[in-house]
Structure 1
Amino acid sequence: MGRYLFRLPDIGEGVAEAEIVAWHVKPGDRILEDASLVDVMTDKATVDMTSPVAGLVIAVSGEIGELVPVGSVLVEMEIEGEGEAEALTEPAAPEPVPTAASPAPPDPPIGAPAKPPVAAGTQGAPTAAFATRAVGNAPPAAPATRRRAHDLGIALQYVPGTGPGGRITSGDLDRYIASGGTIATSASAPVQRDGISETRIIGMRRKIAEKMQDAKRRIPHIAYVEECDLTEVEALRADLNAHRKDGQPKLTLLPFFIRALARVLPDFPQINARYDDDAGVLKQYDAIHIGIATQTPAGLMVPVVRHAEARDLWDCASEVSRISAAARDGSATREELSGSTITITSLGTLGGITTTPIINHPEVAIIGPNKLVDRPVVQGSFVTVRKMMNISSSFDHRIVDGYDAALFVQQLKRLLEHPALIFMD
């Protein structure tokens, strides 16, 4: 028998460390080759680390939420043959041995078909503060105890009984109340709550928190909001959707925003840019890579529509749909989640009146479409109902002056209010 040390591999892209987000093995597990060992996160990509060998897990290193450097030993295993390393850690303390009356079957190897779980014994364990009984199984209790429970509003079904045969005593009622058991109250009576729950921020949520904190700390934001009449672009969108060809995606407003940005940004190269404030260098891009802020089960991600300047309306719609779906199902690659030069963030129908979006560092601008609503508007001597939207935006005031920010949004507004201009050279 020999020892094998599984180390955090070099994932590439200059990654020096990764965060442990989930363990799939523990000391004592016997695993098969290619079985999942641990999930680690680098930037916004989660990677499933699998075992190149079969063996017995002796020790695991690192807690969930811990950052570990590349090359660190994550799992120590005992394998057939000589192995390739000496043990680095003492074997984990063995788990309590089951009594002879109830021997525990050996665990199957990780990666093999799972067997139904066997409930652990509870001999000697303290009585739980809360208990339930099978439906239709009336809890045993004396009439006086039942009457007292009724007066207190306590359901005996949930009270652990310490008397003979699990009989509930008056003392059990006292212990149930003292341990936090709920006493029924009328629906109209307010109930005081003092509970506090603590959640450790790890994984994707920690990455988001760190990125947002870094962006607000480093970037002096300037916000600018403009009202836009999108009646014409909405009419065009509805007509295009009604007459789209087979295979063409259904258009949302996002492709129109992408195409409008692709037309306006060449006139504002300092906005289609990334600012390396550590080096004091502003990188202005000819290519337009637009990040699409996307809510996923794991948190906020920003997949990227690359080379928006070279895509037509339908191609933009297809790419937005593709990368958003990839971000939500976790299949997006590092390249698809990085490299944006400006970001669009939209809450869709939840967009509200206005927002103050945080810039996706190291970019220098972000555009936030808000909710599209029907609103009365004065046109000449008449009041008419138009489809209106407030467009929010934030700019890095170190790079973009207020005048340039306003001029940029005004040109964007002009294209969106007269969508024919989007398609004109």
Structure 2
Amino acid sequence: MTMPGEDSESAPDRLHHSVLVCATASVAGVVIGFVGGAFRWCLQVADAWRVDLSELAHRLPGPGWLIPIAAAAAGATLAALVVRWMPLAAGSGIPHVEAVYRRDAPPPELRLLPAKFVGGVLGIGSGLVLGREGPTVHMGAAIGAAFARVFRLPDTTVRMLQTAVGGAGLAVAFNAPIGGALFTLEEVTKSFRLQTVLATAFAAATAVGCSRLVVGDVADFQVEAVTSPALGWLPLFIVFGVATGCLGVLYNRLVLAFVDHVKLLPRISAVAKAAVIGALIGLVMFIHPLATGGGDDLTQSILGGSSMALSVIVGFLVLRFVAGPLSYAAAVPGGLFAPLLALGTLWGVLFVGGFEAVWPGHHTSLAVPMAIVGMAAFFGATVRAPLTGIVIVVEMTATTSVLVPMLAATAAAVLAAELLRSPPIYDSLRERMPVEGKACDEDGTAAR
């Protein structure tokens, strides 16, 4: 399938254009690889700092609990000030990337890059329950569009390259090159045009290769060998998928409810709103630091086989289920993917615990497989990109033994969400953006 304007080109011109596009994507991939790798490294340092700060607050006499509250509020406030300077930096950025591809908004300028980087480190690093993937995708899109302009490529190609390199950004965020490429094709373009496939593949390959020089060449989560569940358990995974689809619908509605209601507080400035939300997240940080941030450490703890009481799992699930949408309503740089994965692992372990309570029989061996499946199923239910979710989880865990139940549960989750008539979360967020050709942030405010 050809892109608009290609029919009038001769075969040599099309070949030259394709080579130039792939070369541009490769160079842009190198840049987002190092930028995204540095972004991930900064967030890893912030995660460790946040745990140390929480432990210090518990050791100090007096009102030590004020320390994480003040730190999180300060980080959120500074991130909101970055957004005041660059409104387009608010939120995930993925709805904007999709809007650009659909010609509902112009491609991002390169000056978005420092705003997204600094704002993301401040917001996510301070403990807000947001993901690193949104800012990395948006930074990749800005880099892809900038390089396309440098090589004076046509507008259609600029929009395609910002999408392709945005997908490379997702690949860097999760160290998942195939998942990042598939995200571009399944979620953003919803097509498999050859030129887009090639550009995305080149960008993702160079991006992940370079990012691994910064953060290392290992899977995001270290998981011991997982035995494939017996075929007789497949109906249970399907039931789990249906329940996950219903939970994903509830989560999407909660995200939109927080975004809409926080926006309806006109007498309070965006910076003040972010500060208050940051303070609330700081209180959660004092309760337990693993309940805040992107959730990688919590996910690793679960997938690593750490034993947690069911009441603790419920506590983490409830806190993060509410804290994620609340954090997104702060309208600072940060995404939704990583928190979704953490929720999926918690929900999987909780489901197995509940099943064990109803039907005792030593089913604890299903906990880790169900947690892994929960990551993909919850992602599929909310984002409605099931193949992307499955591939990303497989790459992040380096585990293929649960592919069959993962496919079944994710399909059931997506079907349940569709039957409940819940639109994908990024479609809902994109619809809240103006479409008059202006770049905008994700809560519907026009960008300058």
TM-score (norm 2): 0.20
TM-score (norm 1): 0.21
Query: Greater share of strand residues, 1 or 2?
Result: 1
Query: Greater share of helix residues, 1 or 2?
Result: 2
